[in-house]
Amino acid sequence: MLIDSRVASGLRDLTPSLAKPRERILDRFRQTFRGFGFQPIETPHIERKDVLTGKGAGSEEVLRQIFDVVNTGGTLGELALRFDHTVPLARFVSAHVNEIGLPFKRFAIGSVFRGERPAKGRFREFTQCDFDIVGSESIVADAEIVLVIHQALSFAEVPRATIWLNHRGLLEALLDVIGAADRGPAVLRALDKLTKAGRDVVLSELTNPEKGAGLAEIQALKVLEFVEQGKGGLGVLDRAEAVLGDRESARAALSQLRTVRLLLDESGVSEDAVQFDLGLARGLDYYTGIVMETTVNGWEKFGSISSGGRYDNLAGLFSARRIPGVGASIGLDRLIALLDEMGQLQKAAAHTGVLVGQFPGVPLEFPFRIASRLRGRGVQAECYPDPIPIGKQMAYGASRGYRFGLILGPDELDQGVFHLRDLTNRQETKGLSLAEVDEIVVRVLSEDPQGDAAAKAALKSRS
Amino acid sequence: MLIDSRVASGLRDLTPSLAKPRERILDRFRQTFRGFGFQPIETPHIERKDVLTGKGAGSEEVLRQIFDVVNTGGTLGELALRFDHTVPLARFVSAHVNEIGLPFKRFAIGSVFRGERPAKGRFREFTQCDFDIVGSESIVADAEIVLVIHQALSFAEVPRATIWLNHRGLLEALLDVIGAADRGPAVLRALDKLTKAGRDVVLSELTNPEKGAGLAEIQALKVLEFVEQGKGGLGVLDRAEAVLGDRESARAALSQLRTVRLLLDESGVSEDAVQFDLGLARGLDYYTGIVMETTVNGWEKFGSISSGGRYDNLAGLFSARRIPGVGASIGLDRLIALLDEMGQLQKAAAHTGVLVGQFPGVPLEFPFRIASRLRGRGVQAECYPDPIPIGKQMAYGASRGYRFGLILGPDELDQGVFHLRDLTNRQETKGLSLAEVDEIVVRVLSEDPQGDAAAKAALKSRS
C-alpha cells in the first residue's frame, strides 16, 4: 500500500520557486549581519523542556504550543523544540559567557516551532533571523540594531519599509501623569491590539477592571489620545515631551530616541525610513527600553516583519549576572509571504548560466567538458543528462532559469563550431568557436542588470 | 532558583569559533551546488511518522533512534523528526513531481536527528548536505555527482580527499561466479564492516549461517580476495574483469565505472582523487548501481565524509511511478570534526574589517558615521559601543578577528586626522585623512592572500 506523500498538517515543503528567493534573501541578511561584526552561533533545535518553560521565557499561549520531543528508545529527560531564538540565546550566553566575552554580537538563523492552529500563511515551523548585541547598555547598540534592520531589508530589496520606534519609558511616564503607574503590563497588552482589533476593543480592555487594565474612562482616553497623536517624525517626540514634562523616565527615553535618530541621520537613513509610534507596545514583558517594529508602506495591515527592543536582564533565568542587551528578529516567512503578495518575489530571479545540450552521436565527454570549462569561469553550467530531442532540452533549460542553451550536434562537432541560443528570446548565434562562446556568455551575464552583484563581480574577476 | 544552562544530553551549542568556519564551508557548498544547476528545496524538520517508518525507509537501528514529536495542546497525528534527507526527498518528489518536472536536481542542507547513544564526536542533531539528480538513468548524472563532491570539497579547502567508487553489479557478478547469488544483502552487511572491524570479523560473519551470509569458507575467502585486491586506479577494473568474465551485470558495471572515470578526466580531476574500491559496500539496500564514499588521505580511519550512490526506485513507498536517481550526502559535522583534528579549521580564518574606537569627548555620531562609510565600501566595520580605555577596545577588536583598529580622540578630531592600527602586528599609521584610511584598508584587505575571494572581488568592485 502506498503512503500518503503530503506533508504533515500545518507544515509545508518549499519547492525551488520559494526556496531560491529565500536563499538569496538569507545570503544578503548574513552578509549584512557580518558587515556589522555580528557572528553566527547555532543552538540545537531541541532544548531541555525546563529551559523553554522557565518563568517569563514565553507567554502562556506560546507554552501551550510547545512540541515535546520523545525518544522511545531511551530516556533522555524532558525535551522540546525551541519556539524562538531568544530563550536559547539566554541559555547560550549564560553557558558560554567566559568563552565568548562581552559585548557579544551574534546572529542566529533557523527554524522555530509552535503548534499553532493552521491558518493561511501560518505554519507550525517557521524561520526567524535574530541578531542581538549582548552586554552593552550603550545607545550605539540600539542605533546599530535599527540600522541593521534597515540595511538588511534594503539589501534584500524589500521596498519602502518603515521602522517604528517607541520607548517603554514614555508609557511609564504617561501612566505616572494619569495616576496609573501600576497598570503598565495590562495597558501594554491592551495597546498591542490597537492595529488589529481597533480603538473600541482597546478602550474596553483599558477600562475593564477584571480582564483589562481597570483604568477610569478619562484615563483610558488620555492614553488613547497620547498614542493616536504619536505617529511620525521627530515632532512626535516634542509633543510627547509637552505631555510628559520633565519626569526622569521620559527625559531619558526621549534623549535615547533622539540620539538614535541622530546616529541614523549620520548613516544616511532617511527620515521616512525610521519613525516614531508612541502606541507601539510589543506585548512581551522583558523589554525595558527602546522597542521597534517594521512595516512595509501601504501594507501595514500585513503586520510587522521585524521587531525587537532593549532588555536589561537577558539571562535572569540562568544566571545571577545581569546582562543587558538589544536585539531584533526578522520573520523570514512573513517577509517572503508579503513579497509574494506584492509581486516582488519573482521579479528578481535573473536568468543565468548555460545549459549544454546533448546529441546522439556526440561523445558524452564533449558536453561534459564544456560545462566544466564554463563553471571554471564562474558560469553556472549543466550538461543535460539524456540525448532527448534538443527542443525539449532547451525547454528544460528555460524552465530552470538558464539564460543560454549551447548546441553541439555531430556536424558541428566535425566543424568545431557551436550554436548559442538565448533562452529568454530564442535568438540563436551560429557557428561560434568555444572562445567566442565564453566571451559572449561572460559578457552578457556580467552585464545583466538583473544579475546578482556579487556573482557578477566574481564572474568579472575570473574571466 | 536558577535553571541549568547546559544544553541537553547529546546535543551541543556552536560558538562562533565553530559556527564561522561552518558557514564559510556551507557557503562554498551552496555555490558549488548552484554552479551545477542544483536548486534548493526545504522540507520540514517534522514529518508524519508513517512516512519515516515506511518499509525500507531506514534500518531497524535508525528507526529505534527516531524522536517522536507531540503537541500536548492539540491532536496532530503521529509526528517525528526526520533522520535523513532521503526519505523526505522521496516524499517531496512524489508530492510535487508535476510542479518540479524531471530531471530534477536538488540540494538540501539542514539538521537531521537520531537518538544515538552520546559518544565523542557523535551528536543527536547533525547537519547533512544532500544533492541528488532525480529522474535520469544517464551515466552523466553519476559522473556529475562525483564531480560535485570533488569540487565542493576542493572549494571548501578540504585537503587531499579521495572519492572511492564501486558498483553493485560487480558484487552481484562475483556472487554468481562463486555460486552464492542469493546472499547479496548479507554479504554487503558483512563487507561494510571491513574497515572498522577487520578481516577476521568479516570472515566469521560471511561464513556464519545464522547471523551472517552462510557462505562456505572457500567462498568467503574468494570474496575477501576479490575486495582486498580491489583498491586503486583503472587497473582494478581490469583485474575485476578477469575474475568476473563477460557476465552482463559485470560488463555494464565496468563500462559505467570506466565512463565516469573518462568524464572526470575531461573535467581535470586527477586519477588520485577518484579511485575504485571493490570492497565498498554501503549497507543501505536501496542502492542499485554505482556507490561512493570519500576519505581524506592519511585519515581513512576517520571514516567517510561523503557517500551516496544510484538507486532505481526513489519513491516506491509513495508512488507507483518508478523514479531512478543518483545522489550523495556530505556530513558537515564529521567533516568539521576532521578538519578540526587536522588543524585545518582555524587556519583559514583571515583577519578582516575595522573596529572603530570610541573616545570620551568625541561625539557618538563621528565613529558611527565612519563605520557606516566603511561598510558602504564593502568593509566589515563596527563601532565599539562604550568609551572604555582604547587598549581594551582594540583587544576586543583583535579577539573578534578585526584586521584594523581606527582611533579618533578629541585632539585628532580637532585636527581631522586618524590613527590606524594593524591589530595583527600592532603597527600604527598616524595622522591619516579619512580618504587615506579608506585607501589603505581597501588595498590591504583586497590583497590579503588569506582573504575570501568573493569578498575581495566585491571589495574591489565597490571601491
Tens of pLDDT, residue by residue over B173-226, are 999 999 988 888 888 889 888 888 889 999 999 999 988 899 999 999 999 999
Report CB contact under 8 Å: A9, B453. Answer: no
Each residue's pLDDT expressed in tens, for chain A with a length of 463 residues: 799 999 998 999 999 999 999 999 999 999 999 999 999 999 999 999 999 998 777 778 888 899 999 986 666 679 999 999 999 999 999 999 999 999 999 999 999 999 988 777 789 999 999 999 999 999 999 999 999 999 999 999 899 999 999 999 999 999 999 998 888 888 888 988 888 888 999 999 999 998 889 999 999 999 999 999 899 999 999 999 999 988 999 999 999 999 999 999 999 999 999 999 998 987 667 899 999 999 999 999 899 999 999 999 988 889 999 999 999 999 999 999 999 999 888 765 678 999 999 988 899 999 999 999 999 999 999 999 999 999 999 999 999 999 999 998 888 888 989 999 999 999 999 999 999 999 999 999 998 887 777 777 777 776 5
**Which residues are CB-contacts of B44 (< 8 A; sequence separation ≥ 6)?**
A7, A8, A11, A12, A13, A125, B82
- Pick the last residue of a domain from A317, A342, A367: A342
Asked if the structure places residue A243 within a domain, the reply is yes
Among B37, B95, B266, whose Cβ lies nearest the Cβ of A5? B95
Residue A98: closest C-alpha in chain B: B15
Does A451 contact chain B (CB < 8 Å)? no
What is the maximal distance between C-alpha atoms in chain A?
A: 92
Domain holding A111, by residue range, is 16-342
Asked if the structure places residue B151 within a domain, the reply is yes
Collect all residues of chain B within an 8 Å Cβ-Cβ radius of residue A141: 385
Output the pLDDT for position A256.
97
Note whether B295 and B422 are same-domain residues: no
Asked if the structure places residue A407 within a domain, the reply is yes
Collect all residues of chain B within an 8 Å Cβ-Cβ radius of residue A154: none
Does A321 contact chain B (CB < 8 Å)? no
Nearest-Cα distance to chain A for B250, in Å, is: 21
Number of domains comprising chain B: 2
Output the pLDDT for position B363.
92
Asked if the structure places residue A11 within a domain, the reply is no
Residue B74: closest C-alpha in chain A: A115
Residue A100: closest C-alpha in chain B: B15
Cis peptide before A209 (omega within 30 of 0): no
Among A125, A266, A461, whose Cβ lies nearest the Cβ of B457? A461
Does B454 contact chain A (CB < 8 Å)? yes
Does B66 contact chain A (CB < 8 Å)? yes
- Pick the last residue of a domain from A321, A342, A363: A342
Report CB contact under 8 Å: A37, B355. Answer: yes
pLDDT for A384-407, tens place per residue?
A: 999 999 999 999 999 999 999 999
Note whether A430 and A377 are same-domain residues: yes
Model confidence, pTM? 0.94
d(CA B267, CA B269): 6
Note whether A66 and A187 are same-domain residues: yes
Note whether A363 and A294 are same-domain residues: no
Residue B98: closest C-alpha in chain A: A15
The amino acid occupying position A105 is K
Among A44, A318, A399, whose Cβ lies nearest the Cβ of B5? A318
Alpha helices by DSSP H, listed for A101-167, are 139-155
Note whether A242 and A380 are same-domain residues: no
Asked if the structure places residue A179 within a domain, the reply is yes
Output the pLDDT for position A416.
87
Output the pLDDT for position B245.
87
Note whether B338 and B385 are same-domain residues: no
d(CA A356, CA A367): 6
Q: What is the CATH number of the domain that holds B395?
A: 3.40.50.800
Is the per-residue pLDDT at B130 higher than 80? yes
A and B: number of Cβ contacts within 8 A: 341
Which grid coordinates belong to A439?
A: 566571451
Note whether B287 and B404 are same-domain residues: no
Nearest-Cα distance to chain A for B225, in Å, is: 34
Among B22, B37, B92, whose Cβ lies nearest the Cβ of A400? B37
Which grid coordinates belong to B198?
A: 577487520
Nearest-Cα distance to chain A for B237, in Å, is: 20
Asked if the structure places residue B7 within a domain, the reply is no
Q: Which residues pair with B277 in a beta bridge?
A: B231
Output the pLDDT for position A387.
92
Report CB contact under 8 Å: B266, A111. Answer: no
- Pick the last residue of a domain from B313, B342, B371: B342
Asked if the structure places residue B348 within a domain, the reply is no
Note whether B412 and B267 are same-domain residues: no
Note whether B337 and B360 are same-domain residues: no
Residue A10: closest C-alpha in chain B: B76
Note whether B66 and B195 are same-domain residues: yes
Q: Report the DSSP pairing between strands B354-356 and B325-331.
A: unpaired
Does B318 contact chain A (CB < 8 Å)? yes
pLDDT for A246-300, tens place per residue?
A: 899 999 999 999 999 999 999 999 999 999 999 898 766 789 999 999 999 999 9
d(CA B452, CA B153): 16
Nearest-Cα distance to chain B for A138, in Å, is: 6
Among A42, A380, A460, whose Cβ lies nearest the Cβ of B37? A380
Nearest-Cα distance to chain A for B200, in Å, is: 31
Report ipTM (2 d.p.): 0.93
Nearest-Cα distance to chain A for B405, in Å, is: 13
In angstroms, the Cα distances linking B382 to A93, B13, B390 are: 21, 25, 14
- Total residues found in chain A within this entry: 463
Nearest-Cα distance to chain B for A272, in Å, is: 19
Asked if the structure places residue A348 within a domain, the reply is no
The amino acid occupying position B146 is V
Note whether B247 and B118 are same-domain residues: yes
Task: Find residues 20-39 of chain A whose CB sits inside 8 Å of chain B.
Answer: 20, 22-23, 30, 34-37, 39
The amino acid occupying position A446 is S
E-assigned strand segments in B125-210: 125-134, 161-167
Does B102 contact chain A (CB < 8 Å)? no
Radius of gyration over every alpha carbon of chain B, rounded to an integer in angstroms:
27
pLDDT for B275-309, tens place per residue?
A: 999 989 876 678 999 999 999 999 998 999 999 99
Q: What is the CATH number of the domain that holds A61?
A: 3.30.930.10
Task: Find residues 377-416 of chain A whose CB sits inside 8 Å of chain B.
Answer: 380-383, 385-386, 396, 399-400, 402
Does A197 contact chain B (CB < 8 Å)? no
Say if CB A451 and CB A348 are below 8 A apart: no
Note whether B210 and B327 are same-domain residues: yes
d(CA B446, CA B394): 22
Closest CA to B265 of A463, A366, A414, A434: A366
